Amino acid sequence: MADLHFLDEIFRYKSVSVVGMEKNTGKTECLRFLINYCASTHHAVGITSIGLDGETCDQVTGTGKPEIFLSEGDVFVTSEKHYRERKLVSEILDISRQNTALGRLVTARVVNAGKVILSGPTNTAWLREILEKMGSYSITTTFVDGALSRKSLGSPAITESMILTTGAALSPNINELVRKTKFVYSLIQLDRFEGRASNILLEKESGLYAIDNEQNVVDIQIPSALLIEQNKQKLLQYGNTIFVGGIVGDRLLNLLRLQQTIAETVVVVKDFTKIFVSPQCLNAYLAKGGKLQVLLRPKLLCVCVNPFSPSGYLMDSAQLCRTLSAELKVSVYDIKKAAVN
């Protein structure tokens, strides 16, 4: 593990998310590696998930998945349903008042090591509450399982730092894989929106809002950026800085870049996981002078790769790591290979 320099950094942060670009890009394998490393260094950690993780069989592809094994002293947050199915001994620390589709969330400390399925909070504000509580359980670092998803209202980018996973499941062509990963990397590096309105905007899960010069937040009465065509006359009535509570797609940016005020236009989103635009559309918007900013920008510690695809395709791991590292200027690792070594 001597060459895995990011391991020296993880304990500097209160929270670390592992974000997968696609299913089967090694997110759970990376998460399991981090948990095992912390156990070997006698660091008790916290862990939860946006969505569902830890099941032995992927619900979509039917492929096997690595299980989440926790050690004595670790603190985990999962739904009532999956807490009852745990294969470890634990003591309950807290039960939420809010409900998910799988019941309330249970926070518990591991007494005897074993396996668990993780299903955590459903929105960003709730995840933030959970992360803030971890300190009261003597947990200094919490891992959050996350993914790029159009469906989730919760964002793993609320964490202080993150690890991005990519791999052959994203594309069997190395040039295409690198291109797609490089684009997401560019989204992670977007400028942060600085303003007093940030905390108010973080609570918004949907809708479009204007931020005026006095940092007042005004509801534009547009429920979604997907409905922008029939509401475009409302879009800039309160100014040129627009916050989108949900996801941003090509439709909104294409409309804005045709406006006379495009050079003064700023689109703000919660974080990079809410951006689902094509590189061509984003480049055209930026070339016209438009700006795209985020409220949350965690530090990217590294990129981890899975050279194996569920379809049976296997990339050259060393070549993939070298090519990505050269393009992204960040450290890139094959975690599964490192775990074996």
Residue (of 82, 72, 61, 226) closest to 145 by Cα position: 82
- Whether 265 maps to a domain, the answer reads yes
- Verify that 32 and 152 share a domain, yes or no: yes
DSSP string, 190-211: PPBP-STTHHHHHT--SSEEEE
pTM: 0.89
For the chain, what is the domain count?
A: 2
- Verify that 92 and 170 share a domain, yes or no: yes
pLDDT digits (tens, 9 = 90+) for 244-278: 999 999 999 999 999 999 999 999 999 999 999 99
Asked if residue 142 has pLDDT above 80, the reply is yes
- Verify that 106 and 213 share a domain, yes or no: no
- Verify that 302 and 290 share a domain, yes or no: no
- Whether 329 maps to a domain, the answer reads yes
CATH number of the domain bearing residue 323: 3.40.50
- Verify that 166 and 207 share a domain, yes or no: no
Structure tokens at 58: 């992927």
Res. 77 pLDDT band, cuts 50 70 90: very high
- Whether 112 maps to a domain, the answer reads yes
- Whether 39 maps to a domain, the answer reads yes
- Verify that 181 and 330 share a domain, yes or no: yes
- Whether 193 maps to a domain, the answer reads no
pLDDT digits (tens, 9 = 90+) for 56-76: 445 444 544 456 999 999 999
Output 16 or 235, whichever has higher pLDDT: 16
- Whether 108 maps to a domain, the answer reads yes
- Verify that 49 and 169 share a domain, yes or no: yes
Asked if residue 2 has pLDDT above 60, the reply is no
- The CA-atom distances, in angstroms, between 21 and each of 12, 165, 272 are 25, 6, 12
Taking residues 5-33, what's their average pLDDT? Answer: 90
Asked if residue 93 has pLDDT above 50, the reply is yes
pLDDT value at residue 227: 82
- Verify that 212 and 71 share a domain, yes or no: no
Taking residues 206-211, what's their average pLDDT? Answer: 93
- Whether 157 maps to a domain, the answer reads yes
- Verify that 50 and 95 share a domain, yes or no: yes
Res. 313 pLDDT band, cuts 50 70 90: confident
- Verify that 179 and 306 share a domain, yes or no: yes
By CB atoms closer than 10 A (0-12, 13-18, 19+), residue 124 is: buried
- Verify that 222 and 112 share a domain, yes or no: no
Show the domain range for 280. 198-294
Taking residues 306-320, what's their average pLDDT? Answer: 91
- Whether 152 maps to a domain, the answer reads yes
- Verify that 88 and 209 share a domain, yes or no: no
Cα separation, 186 vs 180, whole angstroms: 10
Asked if residue 110 has pLDDT above 90, the reply is yes
